[in-house]
A and B are shown apart, each in its own frame.
Chain A
Amino acid sequence: MAALNYKALGLRCGLEIHQELQTDRKLFCYCPPILQTREPDHIVIRNFRPVLGEMGKFDEAMLLEYEKKLTVVYEIHDDVCCTYEIDETPPFEIDKKALEIGHIIGLLLNLNFYNELHVCRKNYLDGSVPCGFQRTLLIGSDGYLMVDGKKIGISTICIEEDAARKIKEDGKTITYRLDRLGIPLIEIVTEPDINTPDECMRVAHRLGMLLRSTGLMKRGLGTIRQDVNVSIEGGARVEIKGVQKLEWIPPLIENEVRRQLNLLKIRNELRVRELNTEDLSYDFRDVTNLFRKTSCKFVRNAIKKGQQVFVVKIPKIAGVLGPDLIEGYRFGKELAEKVTAITGLKGIIHSDEDLEAYEFKKSEITTLKKELEMEDNDVFVMVVADEQKAKSALKVVIDRIAQAIQGVPNETRRALENFSTIFIRELHGGARLYPDTDTPPIRLTKDYFKELSKNLPELPWDVAARMRDSYELDDATIDNLIHQGYAPFFEEIVKKYKINPVLVATTLLETLKAIKRDGFESDNVNETHLRDLFELLNKQEIAKEAIEDILKTVAEAPTLTTKEAMEKLELEAVSLKELTNIINDVLKKNVKLLQERGDRAFKPLMGEVMNKFKLRGKIDGKIIADKLKEAIDSYSPEEKAEDISKQLNKIISELLSSDEMLLNEKGKDAYNILLIKLKKRVKGQIDEEILKEKLKKAIEEFLRER
């Protein structure tokens, strides 16, 4: 494919970035902003009904959803959801910290602020917000960011609530988890000042860096989401949602440009063919009777189930639905996807595709074409469904063709992993917003802004330069620390504690990612957890080997403190004295091994010290190894063995005298009970055979003496 000349095409891109903020509570209630992986405590089921929109009309997509009898299931976790999330309590006072973060970012982006903020409601009719709207506030407009010497305009910054997480969608039922609902988000919208796909990626990177470098953002997968707006000269603004990775941006834009170019080509072709909107009609025909005995199996079955076959004739568009808009993506497919998105109908059949694939008889198609009085350049579109749905589907088709005559429609589309996009909905205008009557306006004083300006965080590029001078870390690590938002925290830790900066960076950048790979919700690990972790390390209450297990435990049960997690894991550090005892015990029990292998006994003995006494994470592995080596070198088995036998004799005689009664009563039969008692007293430090032998002897002696 030929490279595109974006300048000549008049490419304009804008970004919309949503990033969760690091706060102590949600935006309008006091729930902790934590995600949950365990089973929900409660389920609430709601039926969504269409609501009247601001223009006094029902939302059309919503009506169709309603016809599907949309049921929404909400999963609730008591510790992170209250009655606010389930729309049973009005909002509480807004989280001040979230607003402050918004203003700090606004200051870094040279924004003009409003000093009286009004909470607005933005309709969300897909069930992702139980009350049906997201609360959002515009805090400022008209800022800018310099990227590679170019000024990129920032249109607006808003602070808003995150929506619920969709867990599954199953026909008529959508399940959402409410933990994410209400977590504060910052929304940054740029002007469409970006002119190439690469530039768009750089701006997104730069903005992301700026946000994360402040250390005020939530970290982890899914905490930042970016949408890209794309338009070309003569095309239209298309919003691409759900761009998960920065690297996706250039190929997605390139594909969107090609899609728009090809849609424009189609428009031109339709102009040449003189197709006008008036040529299109909602003349939907029920042709079920023609297909009752069709050789196409799925149509036949559908009719048996009571569904109907509807067709519409579209004049002059033969050959238009077939060709690719982008590789592997035809205009016909785009039509079908839109039908699916709006009506839920699986697909459409049209005469611009290979109808033999459906196993229709040639005669069936000929009859149909005759019935529709089709001419060469005409196309029919067929759907199989109940009447109402079939008609809605064909209406979508006709309306989309009408749009094709005009060119590119304004749409919101979702990014797919192969860098193509899929229709979500027609692009909303600004009018979806209306005032929230449950919250008062927020008045901001000059002093408030003055105070914030005094303590602005450093810009990321300045932070990077300083960190390079201060720590022995490679550039990539520094960049990662900044981009992932750990830089301020990293510096706090290494300044406060004597811990190797590399260990701190590895823990933050690698270990958290590793436990996520193992299926632990690492996003639940907050800064307090991490701070406590490093403090325990610093006080040598844990060893670095314990880090991963503790983080996993905290990720699973975020309400635990790090110390509690440590206690739960029984990871209290082992003192050097305790270690010496453990090592001595292990050596005593492995006299044979030591005699046979000498120094080579180190490896199995090390294993036993680590595993049997669960020393992993309780004391630095290197210290264990050193001490063990030392002990092996200086160990003289004979001498020690004597010690034990002396001790053992003493223990046994004590035992016998304390259990005299038992012996008098049972004589030799007391052996079994006494053996159990003896084993408990020596705690497995002496070989059992030796114990049995000695005990037997001692009992015999005792009884004899008596």
Chain B
Amino acid sequence: MCAKGDVKPENGDVKEDSLTGYRGYARKKLEAAGAKVWDVVEIQKGKEVVKGIILPRPEFQDTHFVTLKLKNGYNVGVELTDSSKITVFSQEIGEYKLPEKEVTPVEELPTIALLGTGGTIASRLDYRTGAVFPAFSPAELFTAIPELEDICNLKPEIVYEKLSEDLDPLYWLELATIVYNKIKNEQVDGVVIAHGTDTMCFTGTALSFLLQNLPVPIILVGSQRSSDRPSSDSAINLINAVTTAAQGDLAEVLILMMGSTSHDYGLLHRPGLARKMHSSRRDAFKTIGTIPFGKVKDGTITIFEKNYQKRDKNREIKAYLKIDPKVALIYHYPGIQPELIETLIDHKYHGIVLAGTGLGHISENLLAPIKRAIEEKIAVVMTVQTLWGFTGMQVYQRGREELAIGIIPGHNLLPETAYVKLCWVLGHTRNLSEVRQQMLTNIAGEILNRETAMGYLIYQGIEPEISATRNLEKQ
């Protein structure tokens, strides 16, 4: 069990390198010529002469080349050889500054805390290097998305500058603490968390367990296209998220992302039921097992979900800030070897979530090690790889064997949700029967007792405008 440790986000205190990204031969050659990144240089090789600005070079690339920005704006790689002559002229450091806009708080508007954790949404592009930098001051945000000003008083704060795959359970815990303070002590009317999309469901699910009895909404939002694209989803998503946090009559942890590839509407998802189902599309997020929580379009919030907690600023937020990261998520496949489980036992894991096939099955050779794991007080939870549907471990012989050795059926829990939930439950108890009972108790809408007959078909990317114009048989 780990409480909030002394996790300190890195603030990018990297030592300045005058030849960023250059290694090996090119570095030696440039150093010898006294050339630095951003220098205007002329490289002569035989009769050919190339003049341009030395750009930082991404790592892991050929070490014999220097990247130059030519006068016509194009970048090219120029190979350095022993006969190349480098002449250094002047320095031209690219300066990139966002215009800043004065922001005066408006008393009638709700106050929203906007927490940046990194990811595409809170970034801007350096046009010279192509690198993406965080952009998150209130002034910057209001300049980029003036609409936000009319919705709320925004209090942005950079919490982390992290790629979302690096936001592990200890960060969830710290983030929960920060959000708790915003709500409890700063009395904000809502919290928006800008988060990388890859693991947004994990963090969101964790927050929905760590913070309960919410008085105001906590909305996670991300973007699949950076804001240097005119058709980026970052503005529409931020506007929809902030609208929900400021005006939505609800008090839950939700994810907001675009619902279609058109700039039309955003969908609200309960994080424990949501999944990023596409590696790159704007409408990557889907609610699994049921229809989405709600929809936000042009400032109007429509809630589809029947049972949810409404906004009530007098409600007392409760924090359950314990988490146990010693949990593994194992995807089952034919041919899986028992050592995988043995290793987890040997390394003193406290919990294992299995993503089983079909109704929740694993191969025969895993039964023995799993049995041993449970005997050694490791909680083992079964979920389904199919994502849609429930575990049904009474149906086949294998399922019944699994139940007999003490595997906890995960019901409809998504593998990732079961993983986060198990981390959180184990943070509070190691007693297996308590764990079993907690895992199957609905806490934040993650447990479904029924799947509506057509839930599988509605709002799963089959948008009305598409089905109307689409006619595959036509061709």
Residues of A within 8 A of B (CB): 39-57, 62, 72, 79, 83, 86-90, 112, 114-118, 120-121, 125, 127, 130-133, 136-138, 141-142, 155-156, 158, 429-437, 440-441, 443
Contact = CB atoms under 8 A, between A and B. Distances in A.
Interface in B73-117: 73-79, 96-99
B229 A51 contact: yes
B75 A118 contact: yes
7 contacts: A41-B469, A42-B465, A79-B475, A87-B225, A118-B77, A130-B231, A434-B127
A120 B52 CA distance: 15
Nearest to A432: B73
A117 B77 contact: yes
Given A50-B230, A125-B230, A132-B230, A430 B73 contact: yes
Interface centre among A57, A116, A137 (most CB of B within 10 A): A116
Interface size class of B (residues with CB under 8 A): 35 or more
A223 B280 CA distance: 31
Interface stretch (B261-269, B286-294, B302-310): B261-269
A42 B469 contact: yes
A508 B417 CA distance: 63
A441 B281 contact: no
Contacts of A43: 262, 465, 469
Interface stretch (B60-68, B159-167, B359-367, B387-395): B60-68
Given A52-B98, A114-B76, 4 more contacts: A45-B262, A52-B227, A88-B261, A434-B128
A137 B70 CA distance: 12
A46 B263 contact: yes
B235 A116 contact: no
A54 B261 contact: no
B231 A116 contact: no
A437 B128 CA distance: 11
A99 B352 CA distance: 50
Contacts of B48: 112, 142
B262 A83 contact: no
Q: A158, A430, A435 — which one has the most chain B CB atoms within 10 A of its CB?
A: A435
Chain B contact residues: over half helix, strand or loop, or mixed?
loop
Contacts of A52: 98, 124, 144, 227-228
A87 B229 CA distance: 10
Nearest to B144: A52
Nearest to B469: A42
Contact of B96 (A50, A54, A116, A158): A54
Contacts of B130: 121, 434-437
Interface string B37-78: 000000000001000000100000110010100111111111
A90 B76 contact: no
Contacts of A121: 130
A115 B229 contact: no
Contacts of A132: 228-231
A443 B62 contact: yes
B232 interface: yes
Contacts of A432: 73
B76 A138 contact: yes
B195 interface: no
**Which 3 pairs show the lowest CB-CB distances between chains A and B?**
A116-B77, A54-B127, A435-B130
Nearest to A429: B73
A72 B262 CA distance: 10
Given A42-B470, A45-B264, A437-B131, A131 B229 contact: yes
Nearest to A70: B230
B73 A131 contact: no
B236 to A, nearest CB: 7
Given A52-B98, A87-B225, A435-B129, A138 B72 contact: yes
A430 B99 CA distance: 22
A160 to B, nearest CB: 11
Nearest to B278: A88
B124 A46 contact: no
Given A41-B470, A87-B229, A132-B230, A120 B264 contact: no
A48 B281 contact: no
Q: Which of A52, A125, A437 has the most CB of B within 10 A?
A: A52
B62 A441 contact: yes
B14 interface: no
A41 B471 CA distance: 7
B322 interface: no
B99 A45 contact: no
A27 B315 CA distance: 57
B280 A90 contact: yes
B466 interface: yes
A50 B68 CA distance: 29
A430 to B, nearest CB: 3
A433 B94 CA distance: 14
Contacts of A88: 224, 261, 278, 280-282
Nearest to A559: B475
A435 B75 contact: yes
A126 to B, nearest CB: 9
Contacts of B170: none
A156 B127 contact: no
Nearest to B236: A47
Contacts of B78: 114, 116
A57 B98 CA distance: 7
A136 B229 CA distance: 16
Most buried by A among B77, B124, B225, B279: B77
A437 B182 CA distance: 36
Contact of B70 (A62, A115, A116, A138): A138
Nearest to A118: B75
